[in-house]
């Protein structure tokens, strides 16, 4: 390493020394870090995936990744890292060998001060130790257990309980136990939602159970064995992908470039595989073989009524599949395929990725049982630390069918052609801009679409982050869709600023507005408006044993079409982003208690009050009155 590089490392050491004292705070704030990766388009899927990402980051914080022995699979668990940053880090290690200090990260292209500050709690720089041997003795000696209990529900009675349609009690409930070691994971959970019965007539206690045993790094050739419930993704997700993309703000976070099989910790009753999987291979070649038998339907909801149970288990699936991939320094290529014995369908695809200098090209092309092919391809240019440009093209023809794929799309995977263009710019110190435009076309005419239609979404976000105590952003987006005989435009603007006073008090303020415009075919135009203002404050006291957060929101959003989502803090491992429409106010109080180092007890109470209605909701979910109060509680213990 050159002399000037050593001088730079010394300066970095001085400037980052204060960060180590704040690692715990940053780990506790990871929920908001993940929230920044979520778009409104997939907000309904967020809760279950946030559980998994929170627990994954929590485990990594307790068992940091050694940069010098890290793999792409490990680094992609850090959701705030871009694809290009991971590629640049891998290339740096290849060119210069193991790092000598954590501050050497500044020498890697794309790693600025904020990125390093975010990644610090999750990594270490250590010597490359001799490869360890798989040992059950070490697993049970050094592994850690976690037990989580959750309960919550709405205090007001909904019509579904009053008319006898709902078969269960008005509360959510789940338990989750998992044991984790870097070489093994075991998990068991049971859950029920509001209105679902907890009995042995309709259910076997809980409505949903999940369990897994997962082994890693068994020997030189066997990399992974998964038994029970697991998740996986290969290539861009055209053939296999069980989780959801949260970010549209940066196309680099939308692009999938890693092949992996992971255990499923989620309480979601969809989006997982149940069976067995094994991965065999070395540094360059990996072979994956998998099987799955499930009953869930992607569109299946709650099991609250007699009719819900009549529809249950109506969509069986027995699948076997495989993937083989080759990874080299600048090149990755893989082939995936499966056959489903119930639907008698298959998909086969080839994925690819290569890097030349500052250019990254990746994609996947697949075909179904009718030999209709679909393709998704992306091209990224990382000009420097301040500018990067990305584009993604997708082609999903009418009639194309994929049962287990979940690649990026705006409308569907069987009738969509689209182009996505995104950019990242850091024009000034402490400022960065993320923007994208996504244009897509749907051709298949159906009950809701009278003619072929071209839709688009534009998003612009400017972020101001001068230090770890201040963070602000402004976001504007517009979404154009066609609905039957008219076209809609929804404009959203959101301004947020968060700052800390000393180390134990934080204030967060948000102002949001929406404009919903309808343009009918006879050229008549109408527009509606809505706005929301919210704020919350957090106080950590008594040596961090207690944390109290209080918040309020006031909204004037007369129509559902103008509805606004607004993130707010919640209990551990739960995601909260209420949907606001109507006229009223919302208040919440969140208390977090840490009686022991490895124990957390959280309680949250929120109340929404409307002044423009005497009923809330509709159908079985309707509440008579203008108040809705929800209580949530979580107990978590690590041992």
pLDDT tens digits, 198-235: 988 888 889 999 999 999 888 888 889 999 999 888 88
pLDDT at 386 over 80: yes
Most confident of 57-66, 87-96, 351-360: 351-360
d(CA 298, CA 59): 29
Q: Look at residue 616 and tell me whether its pLDDT is greater than 80.
A: yes
Q: How many CA atoms lie within 13 A of 185 on its CB side?
A: 26
Q: State the Cα–Cα distance between residues 62 and 19, nearest whole angstrom.
A: 17
Cα dihedral sign, 139-140-146-149: positive
Confidence of residue 15 (pLDDT cuts 50, 70, 90): very low
Residue pair 629/606 in contact by the 8 Å Cβ criterion: yes
Is the model more confident about 88 or about 29?
Answer: 88
**The pLDDT of residue 588:** 96
* pLDDT value for 258: 65
Residue 381 inside a domain? The answer is no
Residue 316 within a domain: no
CA-CA distances (angstroms) from residue 551 to 540, 541, 605, 606, 608?
15, 18, 11, 9, 12
pLDDT given at position 471? 87
The region of weakest confidence among 259-273, 292-306, 617-631 is 292-306
Q: In whole angstroms, give the CA distance from residue 382 to residue 247.
A: 19
Instruction: State yes or no: pLDDT of 5 exceeds 50.
Output: no
* 14 pLDDT above the threshold of 60: no
> Over the stretch 287-337, which tens digit does the pLDDT of each residue have?
999 999 988 665 567 888 888 888 888 778 899 999 999 988 788 899 999
Range name among 3-7, 33-37, 186-190, 543-547 with the lowest pLDDT average? 3-7
Determine, yes or no, domain membership for 92: yes
User: What's residue 36's pLDDT?
Assistant: 47
In contact, 412 and 431? CB cutoff 8 Å: no
Q: How far apart are CA 172 and CA 175, in angstroms?
A: 11
Decide if pLDDT at 500 tops 80. Answer: yes
- Is residue 418 within 8 A of residue 436, CB to CB? The reply is no
> How many other β-carbons are positioned within 10 Å of the β-carbon of residue 586?
21
User: Which range among 293-302, 318-327, 348-357, 532-541 shows the weakest confidence by mean pLDDT?
Assistant: 293-302
Question: pLDDT value at position 547?
Answer: 92
Q: What is the pLDDT of residue 523?
A: 64
Percentage of the chain exceeding pLDDT 90: 33
622 pLDDT above the threshold of 50? yes
For residue 37, what are the β-bridge partners? none
Q: Binning pLDDT at 50, 70 and 90, where does residue 135 land?
A: confident
**Pairing verdict, β 260-263 and 273-281:** unpaired
State mean pLDDT over 348-367.
Answer: 89
**What's the confidence (pLDDT) of residue 243?**
65
pLDDT the model gives residue 256: 54
Nearest 5 degrees, angle CA 594-CA 600-CA 602?
Answer: 100
pLDDT band of residue 4 (cuts 50, 70, 90) is: very low
* Closest to 70 in 3D by CA, of 95, 50, 99: 99
Band of the pLDDT at 10, cuts 50, 70, 90? very low
- Please answer whether residues 508 and 550 qualify as being in contact, where contact means their C-beta atoms are separated by less than 8 angstroms: no
Q: Which stretches of 328-383 are assigned E, i.e. beta strand?
A: 331-340, 345-356, 359-368, 373-382
pLDDT greater at residue 47 or residue 540: 540
Reduced to 3 states, what is the DSSP secondary structure of residue 106?
helix
- Choice between 75 and 167, residue whose per-residue pLDDT is larger: 167
What's the pLDDT score for residue 254?
Answer: 57
Residue 597: band (very low, low, confident or very high) from pLDDT cuts 50, 70, 90: confident
Q: Give the mean pLDDT of the chain.
A: 82
Confidence at residue 416, expressed as pLDDT on a 0 to 100 scale = 87
Domain extent at residue 120: 1-128
Please compute the mean of the pLDDT values over residues 9-31 and round it to a whole number: 38
Structure-token pair, residue 91 = 């290339």
Q: pLDDT-derived band of residue 245, with 50, 70 and 90 as boundaries?
A: low
634 against 408, higher pLDDT: 634
DSSP 8-class letter at 578: P
**Residue 9 predicted with pLDDT over 70:** no
10 CB contacts (<8 Å, ≥6 apart)? none
Tokens of 247: 């970010």
Range with the poorest average pLDDT among 115-124, 245-254, 483-492: 245-254
Question: Looking at the 3D structure of the chain, how many domains does it have?
Answer: 1
> Confidence class of residue 482 from pLDDT cuts 50, 70 and 90?
confident
Q: What percent of the chain has pLDDT over 70?
A: 85
| Choice between 106 and 495, residue whose per-residue pLDDT is larger | 495
pLDDT for the residue numbered 1: 41
Which residues, including other chains, have CB under 8 Å from residue 101's CB and lie 6 or more apart?
9, 13, 125
Taking the C-alpha atoms of residue 315 and residue 308, their distance in angstroms, rounded to an integer, is: 13
Residue 346 in domain = no
Per-residue pLDDT, 589: 96
Cβ neighbours of 405 (radius 10 Å):
29
* Three-state SS at 245: coil
pLDDT at site 634: 94
Q: What is the pLDDT of residue 155?
A: 93
In a domain, 159, yes or no: no
Assigned domain for 150 exists: no
The model's pLDDT over 29-67, given as tens digits with 9 standing for 90+, comes to 445 545 544 555 555 555 556 666 666 777 777 778 888
Taking residues 586-602, what's their average pLDDT?
Answer: 93
Provide mean pLDDT across the span 505-525. Answer: 84
Q: Is residue 97 part of a domain?
A: yes
556 CB contacts (<8 Å, ≥6 apart)?
530, 531, 532, 583
Tokens of 525: 């135009």
Residue 372 belongs to a domain: no
SS percent in the chain: helix, strand, coil, step 5: 20, 50, 35
Q: Which residues on neighbouring strands pair with residue 247, listed in sequence order? A: none
- 593: burial class by Cβ within 10 Å (0-12, 13-18, 19+)? middle
pLDDT at 248: 44
Answer for the pair 452, 480: CB distance below 8 angstroms, yes or no.
Answer: no
3-class DSSP state for residue 7? helix
Pairing of strands 627-638, 623-624: unpaired
Q: 222-257 in b/e burial notation, b at 16+ Cβ within 10 A?
A: ebbbbbbbbbbbbbbbbbbbbbbbbbbbbbbbbbbb
- Report the phi/psi class of residue 106: left, alpha or beta, with left for phi > 0 and alpha for psi in -120 to 50: alpha
- Which pLDDT score, from 0 to 100, does residue 580 have? 92
For the ranges 235-249, 412-426, 597-611, the maximum mean pLDDT occurs at: 597-611
Instruction: Specify the pLDDT at position 46.
Output: 54
Q: Span 619-635, mean pLDDT?
A: 93
Give me the pLDDT at residue 35, please: 55
24 pLDDT band, cuts 50/70/90, is very low
Give 614 or 56, the one with higher predicted confidence: 614
pLDDT tens, position by position, 423-480: 989 888 888 898 999 999 887 766 555 667 788 899 999 988 888 788 899 999 999 8
Q: Which of 128-132, 168-172, 342-346, 415-419 has the lowest mean pLDDT?
A: 128-132
In the predicted model, is pLDDT for residue 397 greater than 60? yes
Residue 350 has pLDDT above 80, yes or no: yes
**Per-residue confidence band for 400, with pLDDT thresholds at 50, 70 and 90:** confident
């Amino acid at each position: 390493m050159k002399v000037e590089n050593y001088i730079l490392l010394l300066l970095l050491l001085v400037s980052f020394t204060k960060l180590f004292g704040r690692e715990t705070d940053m780990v506790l704030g990871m929920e908001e870090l993940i929230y920044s990766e979520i778009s409104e388009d997939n907000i309904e899927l967020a809760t279950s995936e946030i559980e998994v990402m929170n627990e994954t980051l929590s485990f990594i914080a307790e068992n940091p990744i050694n940069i010098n022995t890290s793999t792409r699979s490990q680094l992609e668990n850090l959701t705030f890292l871009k694809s290009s940053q991971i590629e640049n880090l891998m290339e740096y290690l290849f060119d210069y060998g193991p790092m000598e200090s954590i501050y050497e990260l500044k020498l890697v292209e794309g790693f600025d001060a904020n990125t390093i500050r975010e990644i610090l709690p999750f990594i270490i720089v250590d010597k490359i130790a001799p490869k360890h041997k798989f040992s059950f003795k070490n697993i049970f000696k050094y592994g850690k257990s976690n037990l989580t209990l959750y309960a919550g529900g709405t205090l007001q009675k909904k019509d579904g309980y009053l008319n006898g349609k709902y078969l269960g009690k008005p509360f959510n409930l789940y338990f989750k136990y998992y044991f984790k070691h870097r070489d093994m994971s075991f998990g068991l959970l049971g859950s029920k939602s509001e209105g679902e019965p907890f009995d042995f007539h309709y259910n076997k206690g809980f409505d949903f159970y999940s369990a897994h045993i997962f082994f890693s790094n068994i020997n030189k050739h066997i990399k992974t064995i998964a038994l029970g419930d697991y998740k996986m993704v290969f290539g861009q997700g055209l053939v296999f992908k069980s989780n959801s993309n949260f970010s549209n703000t940066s196309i680099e976070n939308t692009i999938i470039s890693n092949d992996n099989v992971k255990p499923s910790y989620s309480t979601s009753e969809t989006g997982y595989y149940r069976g067995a999987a094994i991965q065999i291979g070395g540094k360059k070649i990996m072979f994956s073989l998998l099987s799955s038998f499930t009953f869930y339907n992607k569109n299946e909801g709650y099991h609250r009524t007699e009719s819900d149970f009549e529809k249950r288990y109506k969509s069986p699936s027995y699948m076997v599949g495989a993937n083989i991939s080759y990874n080299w320094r600048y090149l990755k290529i893989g082939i995936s395929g499966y056959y489903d014995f119930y639907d008698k369908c298959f998909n086969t695809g080839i994925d690819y990725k290569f890097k030349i200098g500052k250019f990254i090209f990746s994609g996947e092309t697949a075909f179904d049982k009718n030999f209709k092919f679909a393709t998704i391809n992306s091209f990224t240019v990382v000009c420097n630390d301040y500018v990067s440009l990305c584009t993604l093209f997708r082609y999903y023809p009418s009639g194309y069918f994929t049962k287990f794929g979940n690649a990026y799309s705006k409308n569907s995977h069987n009738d969509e052609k689209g182009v996505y263009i995104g950019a990242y710019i850091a024009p000034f110190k402490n400022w960065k801009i993320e923007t994208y435009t996504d244009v897509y076309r749907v051709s298949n005419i159906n009950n809701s679409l009278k003619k072929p239609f071209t839709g688009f979404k534009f998003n612009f976000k400017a972020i101001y982050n001068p230090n770890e105590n201040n963070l602000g952003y402004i976001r504007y987006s517009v979404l154009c869709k066609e609905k039957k005989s008219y076209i809609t435009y929804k404009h959203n603007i959101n301004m947020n600023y968060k700052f800390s006073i000393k180390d134990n008090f934080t204030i967060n303020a948000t102002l949001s507005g929406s404009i919903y415009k309808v343009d009918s075919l006879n050229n008549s135009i109408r527009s509606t408006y809505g706005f929301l203002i919210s704020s919350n404050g957090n106080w950590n006291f008594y040596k961090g044993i207690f944390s109290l957060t209080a918040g309020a929101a006031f909204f004037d959003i007369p129509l559902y079409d103008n509805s606004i989502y607004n993130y707010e803090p919640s209990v551990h491992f739960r995601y909260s982003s209420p949907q606001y429409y109507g006229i009223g106010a919302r208040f919440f109080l969140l208390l977090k208690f840490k009686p022991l180092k490895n124990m957390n007890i959280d309680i949250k109470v929120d109340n929404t009050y409307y002044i423009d209605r005497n009923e809330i909701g509709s159908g079985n979910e309707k509440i008579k009155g203008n108040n809705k109060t929800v209580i949530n509680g979580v107990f978590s213990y690590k041992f």
